[in-house]
Structure 1
Amino acid sequence: MLTDNIQLLPVDILVNIFKRLNIKDLHNVMLSCKIFYDLIKNDNTIWRPLARNRLMIDLSDSSKSNELWFYRCRTSHNWCKGYYQSKVVINHYTNYMPWLTFHKSEILLVSVGSELHCYPTNRKGFPNCREALWKVDVPKIQRQDVRTHDISRFVIKNNYIISGNRDGCLAVYIANNPRKRPWLQYHIQDCHGNGQKEVTAVEVLDSRNQIMVVTGSYVSNDLRFCSFSKEDNSNTTYILRGDEPNIKSISFYENAGTKCLALSESSDKLAIGLNGNSKPLVLDVYTPQFLMTADATKNPKQQIRDIRWHDENTILYVTHSGVLEMIDVRAREVVYNSKDPFQSSFYCVKSDGQWGIVAGSAEYSRCVLFDTRNQMNHVQMYFTQKKTSPVYSLDFDPYRLITAVDRGVAVLNFNITAASEQQKDYSHIFY
């Protein structure tokens, strides 16, 4: 029987037709009726071929297996075109330099001065910062100088929270359930220079029977390796000093310091961002021998402010001069290079392990989105808050970007319908 109603065609034939359309035509078909809208939206076979090599932010390890590709394509489009909703979720009246991590997109950990706060997420995955799950105040030592007791950096990994503090100490917490208040297992006092130098970088290596905490200071030319047993279940807090026999050190050249550390996914290589150099070092943690050095780029006016592993063989880092670079540690060559559009310093960086990179700038609470497939220009800029502060720390997943500035934390939500929000497009500024 002849019919001119396309809706009466079998579903598999309709899907085959829709697979042959481009994204713009698909959008127009979805607007034609609810039946087509639901069919196109819920069929991943339509969107997957279109988006496989186009997604901007793709953290597949944090994505749900039943996630619709329609939402992934929509949020990727919003990241690139500047469609998002911004909300300040934490606001205070004291200037801090906070550090944060959005752990597994389930809880938000934020340092507020010398306190570490943990906030849950709601059913939509949005951080709920009205009431903290828990707060801990790291132990302090009073120093006879102008230093604060604030947390400089912390990491959460394999049921441990490691906090490096500006009073020169280190706190090791056990957090078997990150949603519950952790308990302090070790407080290591005077980590560098008999306590005269603050701890500005931390990492943790977790083996079968012990953990090893690595600490560095931007005013000290050595790394400290502290080994602890994992078998103690006595809920006892141990107070140690930086000269304990189980604490070893590795030294760099003079006038170098450690600004940041990052351990590879396989836990065999440690990337070291230096104060006094524009290139990182790479250490084999088992030997220990340096796999990559940077003697030719020593410069007291340079520093690497943040460093991450983009993948198992590539290091991503940002510098005080506003440079974003990726180095392949096998060939020891720069494979990606870009700069801040405003030629400002970068303070922090993170990648999705594929093509998307977000860097936090030193001015106007601004973040910049880069695409490793595009060596020429940035993709987009986001002014996350109405403040002139640097972005001290950031984290993101495919749907939201979280940034910490001197007086608050903001969340940018990209999982929205573009028509419902005014576009904030800064992709063509300073090309």
Structure 2
Amino acid sequence: MAKVFKIVPTTQKYDWGKVGLSSKVAQYAAASKIPGFTLDENAPYAELWMGTHVSGPSRLAGSDETLKDHLAAHPELVGERVLARFREAGAAEGNLPFLFKVLAIEKALSIQTHPDKKMAEELHKERPDVYKDANHKPEMAIALTPFTAMCGFLPLPQIAAFLSSTPEFAALIPASIVGHFVPLAASPDPAGPTEKAALRDLFSAVMTAGPEAFQPQLAALVQRYERGDVHEAERGVEDLVLRLHGQFPGDIGVFCAFMLNYVKMEPGEAIFLAAGEPHAYVSGDIVECMATSDNVIRAGLTPKLRDIPNLVAGLTYAAADASRHLVRPASFDSAPHTALYNPPVPEFSVLRAALPAGAAEAHQPLRGPSIAIVTEGRGTIAWGDGALDVAEGDVVFVGAGCGVRMAAAEGLTMYRAFVEA
């Protein structure tokens, strides 16, 4: 039985995806010749899924067997430690604790958060038709191209500055809430319970504002920005407001531009979003890894179900600079061309191997399974007495306890998601 083999991912078309070959998802699907994939240059290719998730299960290359079924039949590929650690998550039945993806974003995703495990269990019990599992969904995004996102609440002084400079935003919030919030914005303890409660009241007031209240204010804001009337404190946010309004006209989620950090990332930079952190991906192509779950609580910039009460209830209200979400890559063993992205969750970590032409590099055995996708170039992956030729778009599974050696023919970049316990 092979410990390393190619698998076939699945593609997902959502209206927010990049169209045709402008999408990394379509590029990888076309390059690797996914069986049954026919490129439609007018279709939005949003996501490439690699894993055992029931909504988009990967299959073994050249076979109809799912990766989940293969792992259930060969638990040694998962490894004893991971089987024991994630038994409740179905590891013995072949379920990986992580889902690996590529996303190609043309249109902003919804203002959303993900529940922690306790809240996920409660939501699944109450609304199993909407919240289809009882797991949490922390996630990490690594930029493949220039990437923008909104993530986490702005520092309180910046929100207060917007309240002072942007009358259309301030008009949505009762004066009593503004009057309580503004003095607290200068607090030396932004994580204090009083400060968090004030931020919660302000955010809730905005997100629950009725259309008759916020749509005239949004229209006035957009008109002001379109004629170039931008106050000094608003510099840098006007383009985001106009972009979001152009994609979701008249949507309350546009006002989140005045409450959430707006980050611009270059390839190789990463952010991690724990439970209870509000966010929305805005544009770009990324590699994403998450705990295996479908649980998303949405509140704006979406045609899907909005669950504002649960979103407001589930946020952490941690207000700080966006740098707290950054995942800084670290060195990995003695592999000079490989970087480790290691977020503070047990379900997943990601390696990025970027080998120049002619270079070779070894990854020592991991205690759990991994999935790798080649995002650039071509080369080989070797192990024991086996080897595979790989090229852009190829996806490979590596079993627990199996060391691999990569060699680049013309430069080789590979992202590898894994779990250890």
TM-score by length of 2: 0.28
TM-score by length of 1: 0.28
Structure 1 or 2: larger strand share?
1
Using CA pairs under 8 Å that are at least 6 residues apart, name the structure with larger relative contact order, 1 or 2: 2
Q: From the CA coordinates, give the structure whose radius of gyration is larger.
A: 1
Structure 1 or 2: larger helix share?
2
